[in-house]
Amino acid sequence: MPLLRTVLSGGLRAALGILETFGARGPRWEWKKRSWTQALEERLAHWENLGRAVRAPVRMCPACRMLVERSVATCPSCGGSMRGVAGGGVGRALSLVVPGAPSVSVVIVTVNVVMLLVTAIITAADSEGGLFGAIWSPSGVVLWVLGSKWTESIVEGEVWRLVTANYLHVGIIHLGLNSLGLVSLGPLVERSWGARKFFLIYTATGVAGFALSALVRPRIYSVGASAALYGLLTFAFVFGRYRSGPAGRAFSAQLGQSLLYMVAMFFIPGIDNLAHIGGAAAGAILALFVDPTEPRTPLGRAWLWALTIAGVAITVGSFAAMVITYPEHLANPPR
């Protein structure tokens, strides 16, 4: 870095000298000289800070602010997860060139958007409203083909619908409302419990919500991320209220306001409230058992990885089953 500073600073001075030789003068020129010199100094300082970050042997725990070795995945002081905390070494150097992986919340919202576009395109192919109309109100048959909750199909073996239904929506307004809730609440749970636990909680509460709906209301189609959103909300509320300190209880009180808004949604016609109840109940139950810290034993870490891999495999397998059955379902929709 000292050599780079010398070369770039010397090169700028030489270039300024050449321009002055050819007659660059006056107040405006002096202002430009200072601006260019200051910009170079700021850039060099930024590079030096990045260099120190790459060489740093430690990183700070976001929970207790303790400095721990950069290779440690769990804080030895409080047990908090160090995942997502930038450290030094080759990984930090590569992160300066290659953008970091998006959060699970962003991935879920992206999948939801893609699935709405797929639903709208298939709907528009057989309707007069075109793509614009299909985005606002996609076909219920198409939603069934792509994996909505439908008890008869689930009983016949298509249990994967309990997963795919979480990623489908009945129009752009439905998607927008659920996405707004997800980008508001999702990162909070993801930062506090880690990406793996967040994904497992989201999946488990969504499946539980549609399972209850399929059991009690078998003759309706049902889709949407709101069952999982209710699960995330009650999970954070119950944990903060009963398993955390004063700060958690204060946060839980704030979430209580959101619970009131979500209770009001029960009175909106056409909404699958049983899916909401199932997701909320599952979230509350999970909050009594799921710990926010990373597992401290090799067996605990192995279990968490095994559950994460199983959750991802179930989700990917559910979408694969939807693709495989798509031609048959498109040709033989339910009556």
Query: Annotated catalytic sites, by residue?
Result: 226, 276
Query: Which residues, 6+ apart, have CB-to-CB distance to 293 below 8 Å?
Result: 74, 78, 79, 80, 81
Across the chain, the runs of DSSP E, i.e. the strands, are 58-60, 67-69
Cα(149)–Cα(168) distance, integer angstroms = 10
In whole angstroms, give the CA distance from residue 274 to residue 218.
Answer: 11
CA-to-CA distance for 19 and 14, rounded, in angstroms? 9
Distance, in Å, from the CA atom of 276 to the CA atom of 265, rounded to the nearest integer, reads 10
Contact yes or no for 120/131 (Cβ under 8 A): yes
- Report how far Cα 248 is from the mean position of its chain's Cα atoms: 22
DSSP-derived secondary structure for 233-257: HHHHHHHHHHSS-HHHHHHHHHHHH
In whole angstroms, give the CA distance from residue 61 to residue 68. 7
The DSSP code for 166 is G
Rg (CA), the chain: 26
Q: Which amino acid is at 257?
A: Q
Instruction: Report the C-alpha gap between 25 and 207 in whole angstroms.
Output: 72
Q: Would you give the DSSP letter of residue 69?
A: E
C-alpha closest to that of 223 among 210, 211, 236: 210
Question: Alpha-carbon distance 43 to 40, whole Å?
Answer: 5
